[in-house]
């Protein structure tokens, strides 16, 4: 490709709408253009990257034996009513009707459609297992789309759905998909981690997420420093480093704490360790009342764990302040587990604290030297906190480290949730009709592009891994339009590269060298060759890798050999 014929449009200044680095660079490098909130066009340069991602996914999925198909984005309401999700799905599902007033939606995912295809075509266990996939546009009407294509409303996803006659068969395909995903992310050339995960609203039991590691990632993932344990922080079981409670050493006292509402205020003012403070969170119960959750001062509540507790409203809802005042008689900020007359759950770690400080359930008063068992009943202990760096690994090996990641892949064992609802059945070897067992496997194709940038950028712009780069090699001829020597050499090199199948961008624009260099660095071309009169006189060309500190001068006679080495 010649730069003069390519739609290469770069910005020096960062558009204000972009907050995170990948979004900024995607706009500056001209990969995408925004059309509406959360809706983007993929420009020629961006599309080249997107296709790289798609092709790697497609090749590896095909290799695994999965079959590609393509389902519609517009789907009839009937299917969604059948699965029950027409009502379950909130406003995220974009609904509309056609000219005949038939209800339709834009597909946020395709379980219903694939189940419908399945039940029409597949009648026998002999046709199983089978794994269908597509690379297709999804629409989810997010409350707040942000971060460019990282969380957009319209996006491209690879979604696969497998069907089985039993759990063993599902497990085999699930394991195969796990391996296939690992192969895919290896080929992307990105640092990633597979973790145990919550299956969320999709349903089902076992699930794993694949995260591209990046400090700016929205998810925290916990992994052991000594084993292969890795889980989303939402999922990781919290184990207290402490295993028993100390003996009470002091008498219970009530102290006045006017104006001290937060744990930080309290610990700071009284000069005590936040770990000695307990915080009491009040959430709605499932019968319009309240439930108290008690945590150590330095710990964070894990909402997913909490909403699974008996009697707690799901989804978890922090209680309204007025309601707390009405039922408990005092304000938040002075609450504590002692003498609290509502169902109370205490986090394991909090139950190990002795001589603790907590709210006195009287405004502007706290209790000090409080103790479980002595000053109130022994607590009902549960795991409701997020793990922290340094906690013991749940598998008993090593301790946990925390990294941030961007979720780009997720695989689930769905079981029979959809097949029962949609009557997707087959005849088994006994001639009996059984609901098929399903798995589903997603990769956020457009998100992979953003995640790759989020992980691979510097102050000059993007640096693509070779596998995702829109072009592999940039040829920058200096004085191309004045020097016949430079022009001829550059043209010849360009033709040579094309014949070798190298994806090459010849910068034949009549611009100054600095413009070429900064553009090629911004768009992230991994390799660059500079040709100049000065170099040619010395019978040399210059090479620089995108991440190299220094360029190197190489004899022209070695050019062919050099290209062989670089691109084979």
Q: Give the footprint of RNA on this chain (CB under 7 A).
A: 10-17, 19, 28, 36-38, 143-147, 261-266, 279-282, 300-303, 316, 318-319, 321, 324, 332-333, 335-336, 358-359, 386, 460-461, 478-479, 481-482, 512-515, 517-519, 521-522, 530, 532, 534-535, 542, 544, 551
Which residue, 35 or 67, is less far from RNA as judged by CB?
Answer: 35
Contact call for residues 445 and 157 (beta carbons, < 8 A): yes
Cα separation values, 557 from 283, 286, 328, 371, 489, Å:
74, 78, 85, 82, 12
Which residue, 116 or 347, is less far from RNA as judged by CB?
Answer: 347
Q: Minimum distance between the CB of residue 431 and RNA, rounded to whole angstroms?
A: 52
Q: Minimum distance between the CB of residue 522 and RNA, rounded to whole angstroms?
A: 5
**What DSSP assignment string belongs to 96-142?**
EE-TT--EEEE-S--HHHHHHHHHHH--BGGG-SEEEEEEEEEE---
Task: Give the start-end residues of each E strand in 267-377.
Answer: 278-284, 290-296, 344-347, 356-359, 365-370
Which residue, 19 or 395, is less far from RNA as judged by CB?
Answer: 19
Closest CA to 31 of 324, 362, 448: 448
Which residue, 138 or 544, is less far from RNA as judged by CB?
Answer: 544
Q: Minimum distance between the CB of residue 373 and RNA, rounded to whole angstroms?
A: 20
Q: Minimum distance between the CB of residue 139 and RNA, rounded to whole angstroms?
A: 14
Q: Minimum distance between the CB of residue 369 and RNA, rounded to whole angstroms?
A: 17
HSE, CB side, 13 Å, CA atoms: give it for residue 202: 25
Starting at the edge strand found earlier in the chain, the sheet holding 95-97 runs 74-76, 103-106, 95-97
Is cis: bond before 315, omega within 30 of 0? yes
Q: Minimum distance between the CB of residue 40 and RNA, rounded to whole angstroms?
A: 10
Which residue, 64 or 361, is less far from RNA as judged by CB?
Answer: 361
Distance from C-alpha of 551 to C-alpha of 336, rounded to nearest angstrom: 65
Which residue, 52 or 546, is less far from RNA as judged by CB?
Answer: 546
Distance from C-alpha of 219 to C-alpha of 9, rounded to nearest angstrom: 33
Contact call for residues 8 and 519 (beta carbons, < 8 A): yes
Q: Minimum distance between the CB of residue 366 and RNA, rounded to whole angstroms?
A: 9
Contact call for residues 525 and 468 (beta carbons, < 8 A): no
Which residue, 211 or 279, is less far from RNA as judged by CB?
Answer: 279
């Amino acid at each position: 490709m010649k730069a003069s014929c390519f739609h290469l449009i770069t910005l020096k200044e960062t558009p204000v709408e972009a907050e995170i680095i990948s979004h900024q660079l995607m706009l500056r490098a001209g990969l995408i253009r925004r059309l509406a909130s959360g809706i983007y066009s993929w420009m020629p340069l961006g599309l080249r990257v997107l296709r790289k991602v798609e092709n790697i996914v497609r090749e590896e999925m095909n290799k695994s034996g999965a079959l590609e198909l393509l389902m519609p984005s517009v789907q009839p309401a009937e299917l969604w009513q059948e699965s029950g999700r027409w009502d379950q799905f909130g406003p995220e599902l974009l609904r509309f009707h056609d000219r005949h007033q038939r209800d339709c939606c834009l597909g946020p995912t395709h379980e219903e459609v694939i189940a419908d295809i399945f039940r029409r075509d597949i009648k026998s266990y002999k046709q199983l297992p089978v794994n269908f996939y597509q690379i297709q546009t999804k629409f989810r009407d997010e409350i707040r789309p942000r971060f460019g294509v990282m969380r957009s409303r319209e996006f491209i996803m690879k979604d696969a759905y497998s069907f089985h006659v039993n759990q063993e068969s599902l497990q085999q395909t699930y394991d195969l998909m796990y391996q296939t995903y690992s192969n895919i992310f290896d080929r992307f050339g990105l640092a990633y981690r597979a973790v145990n995960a919550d299956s969320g609203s999709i349903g089902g039991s076992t699930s794993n997420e694949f995260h591209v590691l990046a400090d700016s990632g929205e998810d925290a993932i916990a992994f052991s420093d000594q084993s292969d344990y890795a889980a989303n922080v939402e999922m990781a079981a919290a184990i207290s480093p402490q295993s028993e409670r100390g003996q009470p050493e002091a008498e219970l006292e009530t102290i006045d704490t006017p104006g001290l509402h937060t744990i930080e205020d309290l610990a700071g003012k009284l000069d005590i360790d936040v770990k000695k403070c307990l915080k009491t969170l009040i959430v709605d119960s499932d019968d319009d009342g309240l439930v108290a959750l008690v945590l150590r001062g330095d710990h964070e509540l894990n909402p997913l764990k909490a909403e699974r507790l008996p009697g707690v409203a799901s989804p978890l809802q922090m209680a309204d302040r007025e309601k707390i005042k009405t039922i408990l008689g005092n304000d938040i900020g002075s609450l504590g587990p002692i003498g609290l007359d509502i169902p109370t759950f205490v986090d394991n770690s909090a139950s190990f604290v002795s001589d603790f400080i907590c709210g006195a359930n009287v405004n502007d008063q706290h209790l000090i030297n409080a103790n479980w068992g002595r000053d109130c009943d022994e607590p009902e202990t549960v795991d409701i906190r997020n793990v922290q760096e340094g906690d013991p690994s749940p598998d008993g090996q090593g301790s946990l480290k925390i990294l941030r990641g961007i979720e780009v892949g997720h695989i689930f064992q769905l079981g029979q949730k959809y097949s029962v609802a949609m009557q997707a059945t087959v005849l088994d070897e006994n001639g009996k009709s059984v609901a098929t067992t399903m798995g589903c496997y997603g990769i956020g194709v457009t998100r992979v592009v953003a995640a790759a940038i989020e992980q691979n950028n510097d102050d000059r712009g993007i640096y693509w891994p070779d596998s995702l780069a829109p072009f592999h090699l940039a040829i920058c001829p200096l004085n191309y339009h004045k020097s016949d020597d430079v022009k001829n050499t550059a043209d010849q090199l360009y033709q040579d590269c094309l014949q070798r199948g190298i994806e090459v961008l010849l910068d034949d624009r009549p611009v100054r060298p600095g413009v070429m260099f900064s553009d090629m660095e911004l768009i992230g071309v991994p390799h660059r060759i500079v040709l100049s009169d000065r170099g040619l006189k010395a019978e040399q060309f210059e090479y620089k890798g995108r991440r190299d500190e220094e360029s190197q001068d190489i004899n022209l006679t070695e050019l062919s050999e050099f290209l062989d080495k670089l691109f084979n």
